[in-house]
Structure 1
């Protein structure tokens, strides 16, 4: 601005009066100043930089939308897995006697009613024109899917609650069946165990007295046999 003052100081009174009456000439003098030109260049540089950043942001918009959709899907999957975990944990606790399936059924029914109410409110908001169509379709479909999954889980849990007494009785009966003792083979009324076959005793040897012979062991013959033919007495043999 010092240069502008120096330039005006060289004008006469008549030139200054003429300059005051001519706005275009005064504006041209101001635009020709180096300070004003430098400010204008900085302004154009900043505008170009902002335009470049805006274009880069627009290029990243599809990626941002994709990441948002992925985040929504993973969060929904996390909710489903957490509900499945609660269902299995409640089933295990019920089998061990820590809690009841009725508690989880009541919780799931409350969550199911809550998601149904949320979808109804969302539909009313869309009908009032407060939500755009694109955003409404994606969010409404996701919530309706979650509501349907919860309804299916509630029905399955109701079946488990109805079947749980029968299951407990069947499980309690298994140890009785397993604890029944196996029948012994040698009971008083049972048939005798098969004995191994043995060869018949040999005939007495010569020069042996009757006292040296062991007592005969009685074995039931496996097959009926004919009596041996009588032999003529021979010296040195003792007939039995």
Structure 2
């Protein structure tokens, strides 16, 4: 025998109802909805749903409040990227200028300029000597200018020789394969002779 149903419209457990009562309950839509609304599980789910909606609403408000900060951050980041591009281009331009300067002022250019200065001072000394021999300049003027041009020539020659010596020293280790340099105290004997 089936248990008597609880208060109308809010049975504690649908399992306690007979099949006929369940069919009658299914046919009575308002009573079924009222029973579902009054069930503890439904009420707990309803409360949980409302809490979730409130939490979502609070999160949405917080997110909307952060939006201006996000937009400001994006704008600041875009400005920083633009500054980075400008700095990168400035660095590249400076690097190109530095490479051009190094190419212009490189060791071989310096050797060429020193050779040109040496040739010019020697040509000047030779021209002064020719003018003196042709009696175009007096002895005192000739000696003064000739000494100056010979001093410039000597300085240029010394600088040229030192620079060439430094360049040669810098080149020697790179040109010699490892293991072929003569051992200390053995002179310059070839590897086969050793």
TM-score for both structures, normalised by structure 2: 0.46
TM-score for both structures, normalised by structure 1: 0.38
Q: Which structure has the bigger radius of gyration?
A: 1
Greater helix fraction, Structure 1 or Structure 2: 2
